[in-house]
Structure 1
């Protein structure tokens, strides 16, 4: 039996639960153990948003709110955080929160199954924007609701509700009390027992020590992949090592020529740093899963998992990123693409962890684009991901760096295509030759997302698009189009 105590703040009070298995999900804890059935189970794999709850974390004198999928979040991961579910938003006198009232006013609920998840996403949006005095635009609402699916196709009134929230009376804030309770948990040392069923070190040295002592423990961060293994493959882990609380791994260092991103930095924050340096990556960043997945998942987790269709790796490969592996024996650094040895296999020793990602910052003459091809525009897994980084000097390709996903057992660098471009004039003839080289460089498989022939053809098409965009062509992708009559 697991005797570790899980402590979190809910409705302004500290809650404690015991005897929770290390791989029990937050959704199971809520519905089955705490009888909070307002949170729904839909897909059970982080795709539909019916299970969304909001987590709060103290950041100085404020609380940062994150909408997350409870179905793929481990219950132990909320230790020391604040938690809100759909049952927690209304005032004691029954007055609805603006997120709830706006849904009612705008007729945003149809069958109702997805509604609790939408309301929680709206609550997170309200706390992070409206409560801070910022407006919610239509574009922002579409981006931040990307992790919620409505099977009744009722999106318009829900988007209306997102914008209406700001016009409703602002509820009383319980932030001060919540912060006091979070501090109380922190000062109490979280009252965690000594057994190792679920360990959450707070420093890098403690993490490396734990990894040395328990090399077979399953490492988790946001659990956006491990949660799938638990729910869909019915895998169980007796020992779980959670790196998401390690202080050093939660930092982003902006140095002169490099961004150093800790492996436990949430995808939301990691992409924000990358977009701040390269604004053209904004659309790609918002298409990397839905916001609740980005709020839980970490950049280091996506890289370490090593899926051939993990979208961050092709981008980082094209940017010349390297990874730093750490153990009690020391650290070593290598180009990201050299991390992988096969399908979801890597060079990390049993006592090593992925600690940092080093990303060179944008340089003069750089031309960067990344293309994600998927069956659904938002919240979907890629069939093909192509990232290109060219330096054009006086009409010639001075250097080329290309990362590709979905064409091999691992994320890969298109070295032959890079060679076909480097030193050549940037013109249609060079692009045509490079297109042929790119199509011949890989032998992708056919699967449920795309056929091999489709992948080969699309790779070349994307390089052609890259050429056209470099020449100022417009109206050739979805980013160029807006729906007429949509409220801004």
Structure 2
């Protein structure tokens, strides 16, 4: 049966761009470069790692705009339907003068070979809109965090960080957000078309109907994994079901002692909600991936994908997380660690989707840390991820929850180590013994990121680090390093 290909409509340079007959698995980068001739946006890695393809999307958020820098190489083109879009060709002022992001890069000598420059400029443009244009400031630390998804082999980054902090010295023609919001209302998709090649429902009821009727459609959210299947594995999808427009899945709700995070909430927003309750998670959240990946990827997608080296799952496990699965038959909920049945396999039925993740809020006496060990501090995949949450009462471990990644075929809960710790006096001797329990609980593999022996050793070492930090020892890791402010 022939399926309809929905026309993509988005706002660019204040005008509506309409693109018919775009295949459901065509990337945004392919459309920009090959269909629209916008070759300023570069293709580097094709996997969301280098940032050369960065563009900025704009979306209505009540009475104001939300701007997000995203990777065009792994973003499906249909995902920008109904949004505003800026590429590096679009940001100069109306009179031809450069945007502050461009002016600052020139003044600070932030470009050498130039291949990565368009991506850096667009990340800077997103920073400008979200901070400078709203009266905020950009610190050295903020610049490093929000540029972590852009890689450069030439400059050493110092001049680019300088450029981020000096954008405030130039003035841009401001974006008329009210006019843009009015335009976005005109191109707002009205809902999914049954039997279309790309279906993007707006309500949970509509999603459940489409999932039941099209169980073979590829479900996507931010495409930070599915995009790699397209660009690296050359997989093709005849039909795609996009869950990111479903209103019920875009909510973060707070209940008594719990936080409910919808499956379509971007990782950046999901982690912000967790950091609000546990500020100690801030550095870990910023290290999950570069900002463009966190802006596209979703917590629900990360959990559903179930990569054993995904960083969200150990954290969610340590937070007592549960995943809710939904279908036309109703909902069911289970602990995240019980959701997985094998390597990238889970209990999700063909007619189900991940609806939300539920985690516990901090309780009195909690001491929690999450550790990410990777070859590169920023924008890298973990060799080992370990999340630990202890509740201490009268000097003893009243309860404990430990999630681990990179040590088994699935994200795992360290049940044996938890059982060993519970009820014991929290002391250095206990921590050392618990570290040895962790080393023997899992049988990690050797791969390109680390050897099995290294992973096992690191698990025990992290338990020792956890003990030291619980005793107030500071300045024992890179997280305590602070960049000097620009002069």
Equivalent residue pairs, number: 485
**Which runs of structure 2 are paired with 1:71-90 in the superposition (5 Å)?**
71-90=73-92
Which position in structure 2 is the counterpart of 1:358? 358
Q: Would the alpha carbon gap of residues 390 and 342 (structure 1) be closer, same or farther in structure 2, given more than 3 Å must change?
A: same
SS of match in other structure, 2:120: helix
* Deviation by residue 1:127-161 (Cα, 9 ceiling, x = unmatched): 00011100111111111001000011431111111
**Which runs of structure 2 are paired with 1:372-411 in the superposition (5 Å)?**
372-411=372-411
Aligned counterparts of 1:149 and 1:463: Cα–Cα separation in 2: 32
* Deviation by residue 1:173-218 (Cα, 9 ceiling, x = unmatched): 23232211101112x737x755421100000010011000011111
Aligned counterparts of 1:247 and 1:468: Cα–Cα separation in 2: 44
Aligned counterparts of 1:433 and 1:161: Cα–Cα separation in 2: 49
SS of match in other structure, 1:301: helix
Which position in structure 2 is the counterpart of 1:177? 179
- When normalised by structure 1's length, the TM-score is 0.98
* Deviation by residue 1:324-377 (Cα, 9 ceiling, x = unmatched): 111000101111111100000001111111001111101000010000000000
Q: 1:487: how far off?
A: 2.6
SS of match in other structure, 2:187: helix
SS of match in other structure, 2:370: strand
Aligned counterparts of 2:334 and 2:193: Cα–Cα separation in 1: 37
Q: Is the 8 A contact 1:405 1:412 kept in 2?
A: yes
Aligned counterparts of 1:370 and 1:182: Cα–Cα separation in 2: 40
RMSD: 1.2
Which position in structure 2 is the counterpart of 1:59? 61
Give 1:163's match in structure 2, choosing from 162, 165, 173. 165
Q: Which runs of no fewer than 5 residues in structure 1 stay unpaired?
A: none
Q: 1:431: how far off?
A: 1.2
Aligned counterparts of 2:352 and 2:289: Cα–Cα separation in 1: 28
**Which runs of structure 2 are paired with 1:108-123 in the superposition (5 Å)?**
108-123=110-125
Q: Is the 8 A contact 2:432 2:463 kept in 1?
A: no
Aligned counterparts of 1:195 and 1:208: Cα–Cα separation in 2: 14
* Deviation by residue 1:382-430 (Cα, 9 ceiling, x = unmatched): 0000000000111101111000000101000000000111000001221
SS of match in other structure, 1:283: helix
Question: Is 1:43 the counterpart of 2:41 in the alignment?
Answer: no
Q: Which runs of no fewer than 5 residues in structure 2 stay unpaired?
A: none
**Which runs of structure 2 are paired with 1:198-217 in the superposition (5 Å)?**
198-217=198-217
SS of match in other structure, 1:113: coil
Q: Is the 8 A contact 1:4 1:195 kept in 2?
A: no
Q: Is the 8 A contact 1:109 1:154 kept in 2?
A: no
Which position in structure 2 is the counterpart of 1:336? 336
Aligned counterparts of 2:216 and 2:408: Cα–Cα separation in 1: 27
Q: Is the 8 A contact 1:2 1:21 kept in 2?
A: no
SS of match in other structure, 1:72: coil
**Which runs of structure 2 are paired with 1:114-263 in the superposition (5 Å)?**
114-186=116-188, 189=190, 194-263=194-263
Q: Is the 8 A contact 1:110 1:154 kept in 2?
A: no
